[in-house]
Every structure is written in C-alpha cells, then in structure tokens.
Amino acid sequence: MYSALFLFVRPGFSNRATVALLLALLVSLAGCSQENTVWKLTGPTMGTAYHVTVVDAPAGLARAELQAMIDAELAAVNQEMSTYIPDSELMQFNGGPVSQPVALSPNLALVIAQALEIYRNSGGAFDVTVGPLVNLWGFGPNPEPETVPAAAEIDKLRAQIGSDALRLDGQKLIRSRPVQIDLSAIAKGHGVDRVADLLMEQGVANYLVEVGGELRTAGVNPAGQTWRIGIERPSAGQVVQKPIQVAGKGIATSGDYRNYYERDGKRYAHTIDPRTGRPVEHRLASVTVIADTCAMADGYATALNVMGAEAALKLAEELQLAVFLLVKTDTGFEERASSAFAPYLANQAESQGR
C-alpha cells in the first residue's frame, strides 16, 4: 500500500499574464496491493505537460487507449484555443472581420462565455484582451524593457483593449474593435475540465488531472483517502503553508512573488491590472480558488490576484467563492479565507485531530 500520498502545489508562471498552479507530486511508495491499480499518464500539451493519475480504472478500459483519448482531447483544445498555432480557431477569429458575427465551436464559445462572466463580475480585473499591455511591460514574448513604459504608451494601449468590445450571442461572437483574445489565463483550466469529463465518460471514478499546474480531482487517491493538496508558502523551497483535502472540484492558484523585475529600485510584478495598464502594487502574494470547474477556478484566481486582498475577499463573499489568500506582512504572510473556503479548513483540522 502507499505509505504517503501528498500533492504539493504552488504558483507558477506561463508565457502570458496568467499565473497557474504548479504541481509537484510527492509520493512515498512502499508497494501496491494487488487490488489497487494506479495509472500515471503524462505527455506534452499547451507548451507544458499534463499529468493524470487514475485509481482503479474500470474493467475493459485499456491504459494505452485512455492515454490516446487524453492526447486527442488536449490536441483538440490546443487547436481551438492556442495563440501559438497560426490556424487555431482562436487565431482565425483574431485575424477575422470586425463588427461581424463569427460562429464559434461549442467549446470555444463556452470558454469565451466564462471569461466574459469573470470580466463582468470582477469589474474588468480579468480581461482576455490584456495581452498588448503584458507585452509592453516585458512579461510576454517581448524582453523586459530597459525603461518603464511611458504613460502615453500605456494609455494608448488601454484605449485599444477591453473585453467590453466582445459580445457573445449564443455561439456567435462579435468584436466592435480589433481586440486580440488570449485565453491563456483560463484555457489550461478548461483543458483540465475536458480531460476530467472524458475520464468520467469512461467510467473512471477516482482521478487527479493536472495541466500546467491547474488541477481537478475526484474520488480518492491511491491510499483510498480524499486527495490532499498543499498550498505553498511564498518563500524559497517547497514549504506547505496550508494542506487541504479536495475531491470533485477544480483548483487553481495565482501569485506574483516570483516573476518580476526592478527598475530604479522599484519592483514591477508580472501581474498587470487591465484597469490601470500597470503592474499591481498591493501586498497580496497568492490566491487559491476552489470551484466546480477548473476553468472558473483558473480565471477567478487571476482576477482576484489583480484585485488585491480586500477587494478579492469582498467579491468572494458576494459570489460565494471558496478562496484562500496569503498576504505579505512585515514579518511574513497572513492567511485569509472566504466563508466558502471554511469547510476545507475544517476538514483539515478534523483530519489532523485523528
């Protein structure tokens, strides 16, 4: 049997404005019982990698067959939503007509709808058109600027971006000006959801799916217990700040304490606030969100990280989001959590008391 099974998660960084959850699986394996079958499937996707753990796959499902289905599903997500595939559906939309409705595939329409919902609920803190500002500040494909961007440059780009230019009518999307959509802050979470849905369709009841750090769990781990997730303390080394037990939910973390640069003694974090066009300056170090889908956890983690601790908790209470925050203080980090996150803390306290 497994002597220990623990999932360790911490904020990581992609090539764009999004900050994802980086997963390191730490398993102490002392041999498996014959009754307990565990498959670990992995492969490249979305410029990163996926990791799937399946516990007790149903009879008749072949490992190689399941991995082929996962690869095909994630390849489809890439073809729909990648900004690195020139003929992806998203890139074809970005290069298409303005002020004319464009029919989208059901999955792309779903993710755009989720992105617009988060945009509205966050007051513009989450914006899938923010890419030009991210690039201006040197956190996209462009190198870090030698000098801080001028206010005129920032204001010019702010006038050009904005998800208010997007209107989704069913599966038809219209843009009123030539904004460019980048779904990197939500697409990995959607990819996790697609794989999780595939597993359930195949009769898999116990699994963990991770893509580029975003994850979703169901059922139990190889030890027969609820999956345990460790939220990292923002410091050197892998130190767990808060372990929680999660099943049947999507989980994502966003943070800005690793990806930054300094100019003239001032620190510029990679998280760009679309509402100001500038890097955030608050003391919120990381945000962890638990939601029904990984896509919504992914998007809201980014939005709340932009907003700062007070505004993030206010929105979390309004929307009943399960949110855990780590806020920088002069002596370390302060933990804050929304009401909806309380059951996860209670479950952890209960497990520690056994």
**Average pLDDT for 15-27:** 32
**Strand, coil or helix: 349:** helix
At 233 the pLDDT is 63
Give the per-residue pLDDT at 139. Answer: 79
CB atoms within 10 A of CB 293: 19
pLDDT of residue 140: 73
CA distances from residue 321 to 12, 57, 289, 300, 341 in whole angstroms, order as listed: 22, 32, 7, 9, 8
Specify the higher pLDDT residue, 239 or 79: 79
Distance CA 97, CA 109 (A): 17
Percent of the chain with pLDDT over 90: 66
**Confidence (pLDDT) at 27:** 33
pLDDT band at residue 16 using 50, 70 and 90 as cut-offs: very low
For residue 351, the model assigns a pLDDT of 56
Burial of 332 (0-12, 13-18, 19+ CB in 10 A): exposed
Asked if pLDDT for residue 237 goes beyond 60, the answer is: no
For residues 206 and 247, what is the distance between their CA atoms, to the nearest angstrom? Answer: 9
User: For residue 329, what are its two tokens?
Assistant: 């203080």
The model's pTM is 0.88
Q: Tell me: the pLDDT tens digits for 129-158? A: 999 998 898 877 777 777 888 999 999 999
Task: Give Cβ neighbours of residue 252 (< 8 Å, ≥ 6 apart).
Answer: 20, 21, 189, 213, 214, 215, 288, 289, 294, 297, 298, 300, 301
Report pLDDT digits (tens) over 171-220: 999 999 999 999 999 999 999 999 999 999 999 999 999 998 899 999 99
Structure confidence at residue 282 (pLDDT): 87
